[in-house]
Amino acid sequence: MKLNTEILKYINQSVLCWLATCNPEGQPNVSPKELFTPQGENQMVIANVASPQSVKNIQQNPKVCLSFVDILVQKGYQLKGTASIIKKEDPNFLKLNKNLKTMAGDKYPYDSIILIQLESAKQILAPSYILYPEITVEQKIADAKKQYGLGV
């Protein structure tokens, strides 16, 4: 699976992404992530900032799902893949950390990175796009701004 321009657009428009993991017993965990970026054509990297449960789950079950949605447009993507934990001691850490470090600066300390080898992508759409196919993106943005009190 390759990250195409449409997926990259929604990654860049998203402030947070959500990483879903499962423990060996199948109990899910969903955790917001602030520092994430594409790595090449088919990988994502996430800074491990205060995510002990995500790391523990990945070490026991590496299958993950990452989702991000532009909250005003109410569209985004769900990416699935296999994750691994890259620690500072790993020779690949510096290369993988380059863009994350630029984003984090000194504000967010972290000692490891979650590297996801992407396997599939699926678009996320608000149900209103299906129920009302004539709705435009501009209408969705105006409706979301009104609903969330962001001004129109």
Class of domain 5-126: mainly beta
Q: For residue range 20-68, what is the model confidence (pLDDT) as tens digits? A: 999 989 999 999 999 999 999 999 999 999 999 999 999 999 999 999 9
Q: What's the pTM?
A: 0.91
Measure the CA angle with vertex 3, ends 6 and 80; round to 5°. Answer: 110
Domains of the chain by residue range: 5-126
Looking at residue 131, its amino acid is L
Burial of 134 (0-12, 13-18, 19+ CB in 10 A): exposed
Percentage above 70 pLDDT, the chain: 99
Q: Choose among 34, 36, 32, 53: nearest CA to 44.
A: 36
In total, the chain counts a number of residues equal to 152
Handedness of CA 97, 98, 100, 101 (dihedral sign): positive
- Name the CA radius of gyration of the chain, rounded: 17
At 152 the pLDDT is: 54
Handedness of CA 49, 118, 68, 7 (dihedral sign): positive
Q: For residue range 91-104, what is the model confidence (pLDDT) as tens digits? A: 999 999 999 998 88
